[in-house]
Amino acid sequence: MNKAMLSPSMMCADLTRLESTVAQLEKAGVEYLHVDIMDGEFVPNITLGTDFCRLLRQLTDIPLDIHLMVVNPENKLKWFDIRPGELVSVHCESTADIKGCLDCVHSLGALALAALNPQTPVSVLEGLYDDIDGVLVMSVNPGFAGQRIIPHSFDKVRAVRNELENYGLAGKIIEVDGNISFENAEKMRAAGADIFVGGTSSVFGGDSMADNIARLRAALK
Ligand code: DX5
Ligand code: ZN
């Protein structure tokens, strides 16, 4: 099993205090910064963009975890100045050329994850296992923070983990995104998840970020 890693969802951060927030996340040792890119077409919301990615790279060396929720991502990957060591998730539902997208991410030196919406069956990954570094399992319908987890998400993560193990790919990553509260994180870890997107349900909830991150780490032990 991979080490449990945190990827705070930057769309949930207080963007009026971005520099201070990033410094606190650095101090807390989070492994990635999750950047939700939405085009208002693939999902009914528009959030962060290419300039925000550039700004984050100026503020910190924490690698970005770019979650593309856009139609035809194959035409837009080049806009993001993707760097080696970053994570890029592309939705299987968003393109007819998922393999091309994954190859493009790899050609830029980054790790490529196939993202699945809640209603998308794990079977869509068949034929892709050799092309991915992991899977992003959406545990809410993508678009908005503050939603409630879709109950079958836990079984779905377990099913993806089982498939990866069946193919001898136990080292591949499973990232989970959506209402990853302290309690849900613990259950997702038991189901086989490795990277946890912390949003309003945990990292950016009411208490201090440092306390929330410590509590989330404790839940993942
Ligand atoms: C959902 C967002 C996520 C996450 C936010 O589309 O992409 O970043 O849900 O965190 P929560 O769900 O905890 O508010
Ligand atoms: Zn996301």
Average pLDDT over residues 137-149: 97
User: What is the tens place of the pLDDT at every residue in 70-102?
Assistant: 999 999 999 999 999 999 999 999 999 999 999
The CATH number for 5-219, chosen from 3.20.20.70, 3.40.50.300, 3.40.50.720, 3.60.21.10, is 3.20.20.70
CA–CA distance, 60 with 66 (Å, rounded to integer): 15
What pLDDT score was predicted for residue 1? Answer: 81
Output the six-digit token pair for 208.
Answer: 């201090």
- Once rounded to an integer, what is the mean pLDDT over residues 44-48? 96
CA dihedral sign of residues 11, 14, 15, 17: negative
Mean pLDDT of the residues in the chain = 97
Determine whether 177 is exposed, middle or buried from the number of CB atoms within 10 Å of its CB (0-12, 13-18, 19+): buried
In this predicted model, what pLDDT tens digit does every residue of 162-191 receive, in sequence order?
A: 999 999 999 999 999 999 999 999 999 999
Q: Is 9 in the pocket of ligand 1 (CB under 6 A)?
A: yes
* pLDDT given for residue 207 in this prediction: 77
What mean pLDDT do residues 110-138 have?
A: 98
How many CB atoms neighbour CB 129 within 10 A? 16
pTM of the prediction?
0.97
What's the CA-to-centroid distance between 168 and ligand 1, angstroms? 31
Is 51 designated active site? no
Instruction: Look at the alpha carbons of 209, 214, 218, 221 in this order and tell me if their dihedral is positive or negative.
Output: positive
> What is the per-residue pLDDT across 11-35, written as a single tens digit (0 to 9) for each?
999 999 999 999 999 999 999 999 9
CA of 203 to the centre of ligand 2 (A): 14
* Residue 150: burial class (beta carbons within 10 Å; 0-12, 13-18, 19+): middle
As a whole-number percent, the residues of the chain with pLDDT over 90 amount to 98
Q: Look at residues 206, 221, 215, 194 and name the one whose alpha carbon lies nearest to residue 32.
A: 194
Which residue, judged by its Cα, is nearest atom 2 of ligand 1?
Answer: 145
What local confidence, expressed as pLDDT, does residue 162 receive? 98
Contacts of 157 by beta carbon, 8 Å cutoff, 6+ apart: 137, 174, 176, 188, 191, 192, 193
